[in-house]
Amino acid sequence: MGQASTRSVALVGLHPQLVDIEAAAVPGDAELYLVGLPETSVWPARARIRAAILNSGTAWPDARITVSVSPVIPPVYDAAADLALAVAVLAATGVIPPERIAGRVFLGELALDGGIRPVRGVLPMVRAAVRAGLSRVVVPAECAREAAQVPGAVVMPVTRLADVVDQLRHGTLRDHHDQEPESEFALSSSFAVDLADVPGNQAARHALEVCAAGGHHLFLSGEGPATMLAERLPGILPPLTDEAARQVADIYSLAGRLDGAPGSTPPLSAPHHTATAAAIFGSVAGNRPGAVSLAHRGVLHLADAPEFTRPVLDGLCRPLDSGQVHLTERGRSVRYPARFTLVLDARPCPCLEQRECACTPEAQRRYRARLALLLSRVAVRAPVEWGDCGARAGESSAAVAARVLAARVRAAHRLADTPWRTNAEVPAPDLRTRFPVAPEAAELLRSAVNTGLVTADGLARLLRVAWTLADLRGADRPQLDDAAGALELWKGADGDGAR
């Protein structure tokens, strides 16, 4: 009988928490006590650990075993600490030499037959372990390539608990050297679509460029290639910074979709209108990010936006304002990052057959009214139409991306001493005091407020778009033409903007 200790990692949202696992075995009835797990997880974890040990060819120790987890694992327990709990039990009872589990981090869910199942979120968990100076990490074999993306990690892949016991007993637990890890986050190629594939629709193409340059949200109205345009927006955005790429990779890892992470290209998330609120915003119980977080630092596209449920449409306003999703359920709370460029598109009415449309004006009004709250936060609107698709092809994504990058560089230089990255993030008070526009431009925009075309919030959005237009043409500050251009983009296809 003896004692042993090791380490694992728990996740609350994307926030990793390193946990110490201590086990003590004393003479007595063959019982296992788990301290520090969520109450609802104690019995399932005990059952998995006991069955996995017995089915791995090891007799259950004839001792009273207490395993303590500190700090207490949060209410969202995804079984990632199962393997650490099991090896702590076996080390405390002498099956494994205790010194051979010290200084290692064990991640993996135990199957009843003794297999070790993959877990979500390995990337941020391994990153947290390495930051804490614990570079030796034991992970399920299916997660080894993902864990190897973390610089400095010494990854040991395992498939069965019996193999872990045998290798630790004989000191032969091997590092992962089967293949050289790829450069970090080079997990997939960039989007293989080009703006040159979208003919005509010059107004929508210009709106897309403005949104990419300033980080503004976009509404595309009408029957046309809205989806084609939205799919090409990530290709003209600047590449992700290293920090942003790490955030995106961590989100995709927690979602169990790291193979689909876009690398340095901003991500595109396009949920269907039948998706549930949990699929859009994420889940507390499952500790799983939703579509809005999968769009972090990229693009969220809602095709046929009025078809989404009202709770989803209204619920999007919070992440648009704060850049994150905050979910609460039964006293549990979790936050996921969600700062993205929103692209909405909508038909004029709910009728699918536009040529034989029988919708009344009132039905069309109600259909568009579903987007009222969201449209109040959208700075740019543009029409799209199939009838314009007979025109010649426009510029390539590469040409547009070059102008976007130049505009972003100008904005970054201006905002260098501020916490903001794009024009769309600058608060209204600073637009008036630190970044004033030319007097004639300010007068034009004030007249739009005086005539009731826009509210004070709308004025701030017009100013942000005007700054982006000035950045695109290389001007020091917005002039009258930039203000007029912002007003036209605000009015969009319908002749007046959402206030």
Q: Output the pTM of the full model.
A: 0.89
Domains located in the chain, CATH noted? 3-170 (3.30.230.10), 195-425 (3.40.50.300)
Residues 437-470: tens digit of each pLDDT: 999 999 999 998 888 888 888 899 999 999 999 9
How far apart CA 431 and CA 278 sit, in angstroms, is 36
Phi and psi torsions of 47, nearest 5°: -65, -45
Q: Which long-range contacts (CB under 8 A, 24 or more apart) does 429-436 make?
A: 431/460, 431/463, 431/464, 431/467, 435/463, 435/467, 435/477, 436/477
Contact in structure between 499 and 454 (CB atoms under 8 Å):
yes
Q: What percent of the chain has pLDDT over 90?
A: 68
Over residues 163-180, mean pLDDT: 70
pLDDT at position 495 is 46
Residues 26-56: tens digit of each pLDDT: 988 889 999 988 888 889 999 999 999 999 9
pLDDT at position 38 is 84
Over residues 317-340, mean pLDDT: 90
H or E element, residue 215: none
* Residue 103 reports pLDDT greater than 60: yes
Q: What percent of the chain has pLDDT over 70?
A: 92
Residues 337-390: tens digit of each pLDDT: 999 999 999 988 887 655 667 778 888 888 888 999 999 899 999 999 887 666
* Residue 427 reports pLDDT greater than 80: yes
Task: Name which residue leads in pLDDT, 424 or 190.
Answer: 424
* Residue 224 reports pLDDT greater than 80: yes
Contact in structure between 240 and 187 (CB atoms under 8 Å):
no
Average model confidence (pLDDT) across the chain: 89
Distance (Å) of CA 42 to CA 55, 76, 79: 20, 12, 11
Over residues 261-272, mean pLDDT: 90
